[in-house]
Amino acid sequence: MKCLLIIDIQNDFLPGGALAVAGGDEVVPVVNSLMPEYELVIATQDWHPADHGSFAESYDDVESFEMGKLGELDQCFWPTHCVQGAEGAEFAPDLNTGGIKMVVRKGQDRGVDSYSGFYDNGGYHSTGLTEILLRRGVTEVHIVGLALDYCVKFTALDAVKDGFKTYLIPEACRAVNVNEGDSLKAIEEMKEAGVRMKEITRPVTTTLYRPTGVNELAKVEASGWKKWPARLPEQPIFYPVTNEQYASEIASRWNTKDKTNGAIGYVTEFEVKTEFLDKYQVECVGASHHTEYWIPAEDVDEMNKNIVGMIRVIEEFR
């Protein structure tokens, strides 16, 4: 089984945060688009006490980003960040937390920093992530998040050490770059340790599904199976879904109860140019497969222009 590991996509690491990573917010839509590809998605969360020993402000004579010692370990002293219960420690507001199955918190021991999602920096304590993955039958992990040259890197190195086939998805990571070139050095270090690089292959089109009833489907047929009808005033959003299972659940459980609409539920399938959909994020509204796009009514006409091929009926429920 493959697992997507999302590393520390938290407010304090986004632009404007206490320890901002340049472009950190840019990874959020990329990570959201990846989640539906994985059966298991786990996120790590920096979760520090307010007086953590890695914070420069915990000392009278230490500046942020100064190097020194924390216990016996070399330490970069950071601005105070990701304090337990504070807004800065929360996940990015646009991150699809509904698609995350489990959260592993780290950095709770004041006396040692914890970059990796697996162990603290001294290897003194485990977060339990290895055991979680093994119990779930995971053999392969794909890593994304913040920051590439610290928490992402050390998570990837520990994943390799613990026997997992490990991939980094660079497009879904950003680096701190305290020193110029740190991100490139981190990638080379990961490669030398056996971490593989994975590129995101962008499909030309994305398959979408739409549960619908008799009345709406009649309008689609009248268009030559080429477009969806304009929304009514009480329908400000068009909701295509990302998978057939979810569309079938809606069509069979809800459309069949609507007697004014024939009490028949249909599942349709259609292709939309991925470039158009990149403007929107996938929303999770329940179980992990309850994923859909929210297309504003005023954008439906433009979406119709980006449909490739015909709208097809693939299931019918009565």
Quick: pLDDT tens for 217-256. Answer: 999 999 999 999 999 899 999 999 999 999 999 999 988 8
Instruction: Spot the catalytic one: 8, 113, 120, 158.
Output: 8
- Residue with tokens 């590809």, as numbered in its chain: 37
Token pair in block for residue 199: 């590129």
- The fourth-level CATH superfamily of domain 2-197 is Isochorismatase-like (3.40.50.850)
106 is a catalytic site residue? yes
Instruction: Spot the catalytic one: 3, 151, 173, 284.
Output: 151
Q: Interior CA angle at 272 toward 271 and 277, to 5°?
A: 145
Q: What pTM was computed for the model? A: 0.70
284 is a catalytic site residue? no
- Ramachandran angles phi, psi of 233, nearest 5°: -55, -35
Domain boundaries in the chain? 2-197, 205-317
Each residue's pLDDT tens digit, 74-93: 999 999 999 999 999 999 99
Each residue's pLDDT tens digit, 258-296: 777 678 999 999 999 998 998 899 999 988 899 999 999
What is the total residue count of the chain?
Answer: 318
151 is a catalytic site residue? yes
Instruction: Spot the catalytic one: 12, 25, 46, 106.
Output: 106
**Rounded CA separation 44/4 (Å):** 11
**Rounded CA separation 52/316 (Å):** 58
